[in-house]
Chain A
Amino acid sequence: MTNGDQTSFLHVTTDVGGTFTDVVVADGAGQMTIGKSPTRVNAGEGVLAALGNAADQLGQTVEDLLGRTQLFTYSTTRSTNAILERTTAKTALLTTEGFPDILVLREGGREDAFDSATPYPEPFIPRELTREIPERINSEGEVVRAMDEDALVATLRQLAKLEVEAVAVCFLWSVMNDVHELRAGELIEEVMPGVAWTLSHRLNPVAREYRRASATAIDASLKPLMGQHFKEVEDRLRGAGLSGEFMVATSRGGVLHAAEVSERPIDTVKSGPSMAPVAGITFAGAEGIDRDLIVCDTGGTSFDVSLIRDARVSFTRETWLGRPFTGHLTGTTSVDIRSIGAGGGSIAWIDPGGLLRVGPQSAGAEPGPACYQRGGTKPTITDAAVALGWIDPDTFLGGRMQLDAEAARTAIRTLSDDLGRPVESTAEAILSVGNEHMVRAIHDITVKEGVDPRESIVVAGGGAAGLNVVSIVRELGGSDALVPRAGGALSAVGAQFSDVVREFAVSSFLDTGHFDIDTANAALERLDAAAAEFGAGLRSRGIESYEIERFVDARYKHQVWDLEMQLPFERFKGEEEIEALRETFDATHLRVFAVTEPDARIECLTWKARVSASVGNSDGVGGSASTNGAKGMPTPRMRKTYMNAAFRDTAVYDGSQLPPGAKIEGPAIIEEPTSTLVVPLGAKATLTNGNSYYLEV
C-alpha cells in the first residue's frame, strides 16, 4: 500500500436492504465500483460478499480493499423492519403515576372521520407493560412529589421477572428537571443489569409528553438489537482487515460514528432510504435537470420514493412509521420519504375472487424468488423477468449468481393455469400489476399533494428499477426518466455524497421583552464548546475541516409551536444583535405563515449548533461508473424475449462497452453489473456524459 497517493484511499459505503446488500467502493478520484450480494442473516457476511463482488471487478482482494478503506459507511433497514415486523425487544414503559395512557391516547386526530374501516391503533408499548411510578415534577421543574424509590425498585423487580429486555422512562417535566429520570436509570442498572434503557429528557428533550414518550419507547426497544448489530458488523469487518473509520448512516441523511448511534438507535430508522434522494439530486444535477425529481429506489423488498423540489432534500419534523395518526411518531427529524412493500421479491398470487395480485408479501433474500434456487417456490417479480427473458440467468449480478429459468417458469405456471394464460403472458401481467403499487405510491406523494407527476422526471435506482421504469413513467403519463448507471445501488451511492452531521442543543428560555445577553451567550458558548470537542474528535480521526452553524427555535409570546431560524451572528454584543434576531424572526414568520406581529415579544427556547464535516465525495458523479474507454457502438447480442405481448428478437448490450452518447432504440436490454435496464418497444435510451441513461418513453 502506497501512502500519499490520493487514489489509494477508499471510501466504502454499504446499504443492507431486505433482499440485497449493496456496496460502493470509491477511490480518491471518485471512481465508483458497485458490488451486490443477497442479504444474509449475519449482515456482516453479506457485506463481505458484496465487497467480494466489487473486489472481483477491480481485480483485488477484499483484504486489499478494507486495508485501504479510510472511511466505511454502513446503513441498514434493520431497525425499520424490526419496528414494522414487531420484532423489537420486549419493552416496558415507566410513566408518572396518574398518567399511564400517554402512548394509548397519543395526540388525537384521525385521517378520515368517516372511515370506520381503519381501527384505532395499538400503543407501541401495551398497557400490560406500562407501570406508573410515584413521582411528580411541575412545569417549573420543582419536585412536587419525590420519587418513591422503593416502589420503583419493586416495579423493576417485577419487570425483570417478566423478562423485559428494555425499559423506556418518560416522566412528566423531566425536560425541566432530570433528577427522577436519572435516578431511574441508575436503579435500572442496579436492579436489572444488562437491560437496555432510554431516558426521555436525553433522547428528545421537548415538552409534549406523547412525542417524547413515543421516541423513548421506540429507541429503547431498538437498543438491544441495534447495539449488538453494529458491534457484530464492525467486528466482522475489522476481522477482515478494516482499519479505517466505521460510521453509520442516520435518518437525517448524514453519518455518525457507530458508538454514538448505538446510544440513539432511533436515528437509524429509515436511514437507508434517506440516502437515495442525495444520489438522485447529484445525478440529476450532473445532467442539468432543473425540474422536480421523483426519486425511486426499487429493491427486492421495498420501494422507496421521495419528491425533490428545487434540488433540496425535504425533511419532516413529524416522522411517522406507518400512516399519520395510526403509525408511530418517532419525534425526530428525518428525510421525508415514503416506503411500500414492493420490489423484485414481491410474491404474485391469485385472490379468492380470481384476481391476480402482487405483494405485499415478499420472498426477501431467504428463500428468495424461485429462480434463486434457495427453496423459494412462489412466483415473484424477479421470476417473471427471468421467464420473459429480460434477466439473463447466466449473467445475473455479473454472473456471480446462477439463476434457474425453469424454476421461475414452474413457479409462474402455478398461476398461469388458473388464469388460463401462457406463462409469458402471465409473467408480463405480474409485472403490470406490480407496477400499479409503485404508481400508486408515486401518486401518493405527487397527485395527492396536487403536484403533477408529468411535470417531473423520474430518477430510478435500485436493483429492480430497470425492469419497469419505462412502464411506470408511461403509466404516470410522463415523458422521460433518468437511470444512473450506478443506480443499482442508489442508497449506497447516496451515502458517498453524505456528510457527518451532528447537532447539539441547549435549552435556555429568553424573552426579547427582557433579554439577557449574558445568558444567551452562555448557551452559545456551551454549544461551541460541545461542537469544538466533537470537532477535535473528528480531527483525531483525520477529518480536518468542519463547519458550525447556529440556530434558535423561537416563537412569539403565547405561541406553542416554534420556528427554527439561523442566527446571523456568533454572539450577542448589544441591541444590534437583538434587533437582528427580531427581524430574522419576523421575516421567517411572514414567509411561513403569511402574517407577522412586529410589536410582539419573541421567546427563544432551544439554541442549537449544527456541525457538519464533508467526508463525502463532493466531486459528484464525474467518473462514477467504469467505462472501458469504448469509442464505437458495439454490436449487440440478440436474444429472444417476450415484450409488449409478443416474442421479439431483442438487442442485448453490455453497458460497460457503450460509448457516451450511445443511443439505443427499444426493444433492447442493457445489462449493467448490478442491474438490468429494459428498453421496451417505442422507448429510447441515451447514455449521457454524466454516466446515466436518459430514457424517452
Chain B
Amino acid sequence: MSTLETPAQAEGERLDGVLMAIIANRFNAVVREMTSTLLRAGRSAVLTIARDFSCSIVTSEDELLAATEGIPVHVFGAHLQSAQLNRVYAGDIHDGDAFLDNDPYTGNTHHADHTILVPVFHEGEHVFTAVAKAHMADLGNSQPTQYMPFAKDIYEEGALNFPCIRIQQERQDVAEIIRMCRRRIRVPDQWYGDYLATLGAARTGERRIKEILDKYGVPLIRQFVGEWFDYSERMAADSIKTVPAGEYVRHGQHDRFGPYDPIKIKSVIKVDPKAERIEVDLTENPDCVEAGLNLSEATTTACALTGVLHNLDPAIPKNSGAFRRIKVKLRENCVTGIPQHPRSCSVATTNVADRLVNITGAAFEQAGEEWGIAEGGLGMNIGYGVISGVDFRTDEPYVNQLCIGNNGGPATFENDGWLTYTLPVVSGHMYRDSVEIDEQKYPVEFHSTKLVVDSGGAGRTRGGAGIEIIVGARGKPMRIIWSGDCHETRPKGVHDGLEGGGPRTAIREADGTERELEPLGEHVVEPGTFIIGRECGGGGFGDPVDREPERVLADVREKWISPEAAREIYRVALAYDEESGRTVLDEEGTRQLRAEE
C-alpha cells in the first residue's frame, strides 16, 4: 500500500492552507510538550502545581513564533531575549549550547524568571530558539522572597543577575555557574531540580523542532514562518477594523505602599480602524520609582498587548506577525517603560503590571456598549505569599511562593468573570495549588480556603469571586512575605457595573483576636496562630438591575451573592420554599422592586 508523501511545494507558490495549519499546530504542540515537561519534571510547587512558567519558540530573526498556553506577561517579550542572545554571542552560538538569562534591562521580565534559551540548529544553521521561562522559588534575593517591592535598586534586591550567559556547552553544564547558584540560592537542590526541568523543557523543544526541520526542510519552514506571520497580521488587522475609531484614555493607580505615594498611571489607546492599527501610548506615565515596582520593557509591552487583545478576536495567533499591528509606545526611565539600571524591577510582572492590563482592557469601554472588559481582581496577598523557614519534619530549609489564592476575573459583555483568574497578567492561565500538596511539601496547615460571598463585582454580568485563605505554620515559625494591592482602589466595573470586593490581610492570634496587617509586608507566623488573606473579586459589567432574575436566583442558591445583595443591589425578591427546602424567585416582588428604580 502506498504511503502518501507530503505534497511537493513548487517554487514561489504559497503554502496550501491545510499544510500551513498543520505546521503551525505542530509548533504549538511542541510548546505544549515543553510545558508538560516543565510541569512534571519541576520540583517547587510554584512550578509543578501552579505552573508559573511559560514556553515559547522564537525565530533566529528574533520574532516570537509560538507561545501557546503561555502566561501573557511572560511570553510576549521572549523575542527581546533572543535578540539579546544574538547581540551578545554573535558568531559564537553553537549546537549544544544553552543560555540563562534573567536580566530585566535587556528583555527579561524580572529577576525571578530564569529563562533558558536553547538555539536549535539544522545542518549548522541556527534556525530557531527554544525558550523556557520559569519563576524560581528563590533567586538569592536579600530577603527570602522573589518580590522586593521596597528595594531601591538592584543592589538592595540582591538577586543574582545573569545577563544572558552560557550555562551549557556541548550539552554539559558550565559547572562554575551552577556552583555560584548553589552558593547563593536558598534550598539549592530545589533550584537545581527546577533548573533541570526548565532546561529539559527547552531541550524537548529543541528535539521536536529538529524533527520538524528534518521532515520539512529549512526552506519550506522559513517560507511557512513568513506566511504565518502575514496571516496572523491579517487576522489582527481584520479584527482591529471592527473597533470604533477613537482615542480612549483610562487612569488607574497602585495603592500607596510603605512610605511611597500611589503610583498613578494611564493608558492612552488610539484606534485607527481605517489603517487597521492600534497604538498604546504609555510615555506620559511617571519616571521610574526608587522601589521594586517598575515594569521592565518586556512586561510593559506584554501588559499593553494583553489589555488590547482582550478586546480583539481570540482567534488571532499571538505572535510577532499579529503584533505588527499593535504599537506600544514607551520611553526610557518610565515606571511603565524601559527601566534604567540600577532601578529595581523586582515586582515587574504583577502589581503595577496588573493595573496596566486592567486600565488598557477597560479603556475600550469608551468605544461603545459592547466594548471593554471590567477590571480584574489583583494583588499578591497571602494566597500568593512567599513562605520560608525550616521544616520541623526534616530539619531542612524551605522556600516557595504559594499560589493558592484567587482573584476573581473581570465581567465581560458575554459572561460573568472567569473564576480562577489569578491576576490580570495571568488571565486564568496558571493553575492553583492543591491544599494537600502544599501541606505535604511545606510545613503549613490550612484552616480554610473559601470563596467570599458578594465579592464578585455586581453587574448585568458579574465579576468572579475572590477567596479567603487562612493558613498557619506547623512545628516552627514560618516567615511569609506578600505584596498586595487594592486596599484603597479596588477593581472597577465598566458600563455601570460595580467594583469587585476588596482584600484583607490579618493575623489571628492564638487567643482568637485578629489584627490587621500591612497590604505589602511580612510576618513571622508562630505555630498556633493563623494568617488571613482575602483576595479581590473582579469588576462587574453593566447595570446589576439588568441581570435576569433567574440568574440572580441561581447565584443566591450557589452562594455567589447573598439574599441581601440580591434585594439591595440586583433588586430581586426571593422567598424560601418550605416544601423543596430551596430559595425561590418572588416574581411579583421583583417586578415591584425593579419598578421602584
Contact = CB atoms under 8 A, between A and B. Distances in A.
A309 interface: no
A450 B428 contact: no
Interface in B27-43: 27-30, 37, 39-43
A138 interface: yes
B445 interface: yes
A447 interface: yes
Contacts of B440: 139, 207
A594 B436 contact: no
Contacts of A477: 18
Given A119-B415, A559-B48, A561-B39, A98 B448 contact: yes
Interface string A455-486: 10100000000000000000001111000000
B581 A162 contact: yes
B432 A105 contact: yes
Given A113-B427, A560-B49, 4 more contacts: A119-B416, A288-B1, A593-B204, A594-B37
B448 A99 contact: yes
Nearest to A121: B419
A116 B373 CA distance: 9
A694 interface: yes
B41 A207 contact: no
Contacts of A118: 415
A556 B197 CA distance: 11
Interface in B434-448: 434-437, 439-441, 445-448
Given A101-B449, A447-B21, A113 B72 contact: yes
Size range of the interface on A?
A: 35 or more
Interface residues of B, number: 90
A593 to B, nearest CB: 4
Nearest to B1: A289
Contacts of A529: none
A595 B67 CA distance: 22
25 contacts: A98-B449, A99-B435, A99-B448, A101-B451, A108-B430, A109-B51, A109-B430, A114-B309, A114-B310, A120-B416, A127-B558, A127-B559, A140-B393, A144-B445, A172-B435, A208-B436, A448-B25, A455-B6, A478-B4, A479-B2, A560-B48, A592-B40, A593-B37, A595-B199, A600-B193
B513 interface: no
Contacts of B296: none
A451 interface: yes
Contacts of B51: 109
Interface of A: 97-101, 104-110, 112-120, 126-128, 138-140, 144, 161-162, 172-173, 207-210, 287-289, 291, 447-452, 454-455, 457, 477-480, 556-561, 563, 589, 592-595, 597, 600, 694
A98 B450 CA distance: 7
B397 interface: no
Nearest to B37: A593
Contacts of B581: 161-162
B207 interface: yes
A597 B440 CA distance: 23
Interface stretch (B107-115, B248-256, B406-414, B586-594): B406-414
B200 interface: yes
A106 B420 contact: yes
B22 interface: yes
A100 B450 contact: yes
Nearest to B49: A560
Contacts of B464: 120
Interface of B: 1-4, 6-7, 18-19, 21-23, 25-30, 37, 39-45, 48-51, 72, 189-190, 192-193, 196-197, 199-200, 203-204, 207, 306, 309-310, 312, 314, 373, 393, 406, 409, 412-420, 422, 426-432, 434-437, 439-441, 445-451, 464, 467, 470, 474, 557-559, 581-582
Given A139-B439, A287-B1, A447-B22, A594 B48 contact: no
A97 to B, nearest CB: 8
B439 A560 contact: no
The 3 A-B pairs of least Cβ separation, nearest first, read A450-B26, A98-B448, A113-B427
B548 to A, nearest CB: 14
Nearest to A97: B448
Nearest to A601: B189
Contacts of B42: 559-560
Contacts of A209: 434-436
Given A114-B314, A594-B204, A449 B25 contact: yes
A288 B1 CA distance: 9
B43 A558 contact: yes
A158 B520 CA distance: 44
Contact of A116 (B28, B44, B193, B412): B412
A427 to B, nearest CB: 28
A327 B587 CA distance: 33
B388 to A, nearest CB: 15
